[in-house]
Amino acid sequence: MSYHSVILKPKKEESLQRFHPWIFSGAIQTIEGTPEEGDLVEVYTANRYFLAIGHYQIGSIAVRILSFDRTIIDNSFWRERIRTAYLLRLSLGLAGAENNNTYRLIHGEGDHLPGLVIDIYAHTAVMQAHSVGMHHARHQITEALREVMGDSLRTVYYKSEATLPFKANLAVEDGCLYGGEIEDIAVENGLKFYVDWQKGQKTGFFIDQRDNRLLLESYAKNRSVLNMFCYTGGFSFYAMRGKARTVHSVDSSSRAISLTRKNIELNFPDDTRHEAYAEDAFKYFAKAENAYDLIILDPPAFAKHKDVLRNALQGYRKLNAVAFDKIKPGGILFTFSCSQVVSKETFRLTVFSAAAQSGRRVKILHQLTQPADHPINIYHPEGEYLKGLALHVE
């Protein structure tokens, strides 16, 4: 098979030789052939040495690398990549476990498949393409999933309407690529929850907080918990299991709040320790008594691009300052940022300045990140997006 060729400018191959999986459009000297968005292209140095093969895209990231070898991107390529990822999740005790059927199977660059995310909820795989190349490959990927996962896979739901570059004008509709059984309850660490994979955010649930939720559970006993930005209540049901005295869940989306209530009911029917409020975070804090001794702040990404970073940091600082003001002495604060453009150091500095502003004495107990099924390709440090701190506030 012959592919189109992308020839880099002199010296622009260095990051690729260190296995960074992206080529920016500014690094390209010429393109031979007429690749369309999503086509496979081979990448060469200015001196015509082969470097890699990947998906071509119109935009600032021009090529997402699939292989640094001269590989043919066929069914066996997809099968092997997916099998490698699946074996890792089995070895992590996430796949095939008795008390857990929720995990990320493919985490883009972290699984050497840039542009692709696949989350597993019980017998359903929810697939998200972030590049046109992955969109074109969706049926091959579905085939590979079926071969690797066998009977444990019954449905593949494609959810890319919101993640594909809209300029590509693909008129994609979300829907099933395989199966079609609507199975909407999944299990994480023994707790059940409804996954709104059709209308919900991301693929329906924030799987990336699994380990942090488990840690939170160990702090919950006898505490009054506020789960701010609760979405479908993940941290709340762990706090309930951890024997919290009370748990209040807050989110500005009433849809999220009704799902939170359903999830609590599913695990802790008629348990009066829990209440949920559809309200803006700052408004809620303004009214709240200083009644909480365990607060979770897991806001949406305040900064999706570098140019709004300053405002985003202000947002994180204000939010954390309010929590420091409100939390009871001896309280524990779990605070997060999932903005990729906010580094671990910057986030810590921002929380530091919020703490200083409140005048409270604060200790870092844990530095938190994303779990092992959201692996970070060491050559692609941009893949580290979730960071958090568990703090003790005197």
* Catalytic positions, written as ranges: 338
End-to-end, the C-alpha distance of the chain in Å comes to: 66
CB 119 within 8 A of CB 188: no
Number of neighbours of residue 2 by Cβ within 10 angstroms? 6
Output the smallest distance, CB 394 to ligand SAH, in A: 26
Which residues lie below 8 Å from residue 302, measured CB to CB, with a gap of 6+? 308, 311, 312, 313, 315, 316, 337, 339, 342
Q: What is the DSSP string of 211-234?
A: HHHHHHHHH-TT-EEEEET-TTTH
Binding site for ligand SAH (CB under 6 A): 206, 209, 229-232, 234-235, 251-253, 256, 280-281, 298-300
Of residues 54 and 242, the one with the C-beta less far from ligand SAH: 242
Tell me whether residue 44 or residue 206 sits nearer to ligand SAH (CB atom). 206
3-class state of residue 101 by DSSP: coil
In 10 A of CB 120, how many CB atoms? 26
Alpha carbon distance 240, 220 (integer Å): 8
Q: Are 52 and 43 in contact (CB under 8 A)?
A: yes
Nearest-approach distance from CB 251 to ligand SAH, in angstroms: 5
**Can you tell me which residue has the tokens 């840690």?**
215
The residue (of 55 and 248) whose beta carbon lies closer to ligand SAH is 248
134 vs 230, which CB is nearer to ligand SAH?
230
| CA–CA gap between residue 41 and residue 236 (Å, rounded) | 47
Output the smallest distance, CB 52 to ligand SAH, in A. 35
Q: How far is CA 146 from the centre of its chain?
A: 23
User: Closest distance between ligand SAH and the C-beta of residue 372, in Å?
Assistant: 17
Distance CA 44, CA 338 (A): 35
In the block, tokens 């593949």 appear at 156
DSSP 209: G
| Measured distance CA(137)–CA(344) in Å, rounded | 34
Separation of alpha carbons 134 and 57, rounded Å: 11
For ligand SAH, the closer CB: 300 or 330? 300
Residue 151 Cβ vs ligand SAH, minimum distance, rounded to whole Å: 29
Nearer to ligand SAH, 203 or 350 (CB): 203
Residue nearest to ligand SAH (CB): 234
In the complex, what is the shortest distance from the CB of residue 278 to ligand SAH, in angstroms, rounded to a whole number? Answer: 9
